[in-house]
Structure 1
Amino acid sequence: MRISGLADASGVAVATIKFYLREGLLHPGVATSATQATYDDSHVRRLRLIRALTGPVGLSVQQARTILTLVDDPGDDLYASLGRAVGALPPATAPAP
């Protein structure tokens, strides 16, 4: 699918997708020409993860990048990677009464 189809499938605006591509949060699509690319379901899933991290969880782009890096390459020590991921999360807040 092209970027407009990716936007429709994910519910994320084209401008936001381009921002995520520039920031390295979303992996590039397969280039079909100098200015166009195709995207697949892995891009839709990644966009949903990015939106979950930056939306309800409330992470900054930098914090989301840290989490996504750990998701992409957890390394040999999964527990240490999980610890770093938890450390990148903002402090928990008490629910409103």
Structure 2
Amino acid sequence: MVEASEQGYPDFPVRDVRRMFRVLVALDKLGSSRLTQLVNETGYSKQNILDSMKRSGAQLGVVIEKDENEYRLVSWGPALNKAGVRKLLRESVSSNE
């Protein structure tokens, strides 16, 4: 069973791919954002967020740019469908209720 975080999103286990998706959705929602904003939005540690961003680029072709201290999601890459990722996360919340 997946518990919901303070932000109302599921708190997926560390190695669950949906945790990486949650980071991407937060980046998309916030636009250009600092790491601390992503921590506040997701409830995940800075290191987990950095690891998720790195893995999403290396494994899925996601493009995230860093300008000074801000990160911005440029492209979901060739493997991910933004609407599909959001739907998966919403369904995870629904099935947890």
Q: What TM-score do you get using the length of structure 1 for normalisation?
A: 0.32
Q: Which has the larger radius of gyration?
A: 1
Q: Which is richer in strand? A: 2
Q: What TM-score do you get using the length of structure 2 for normalisation?
A: 0.32
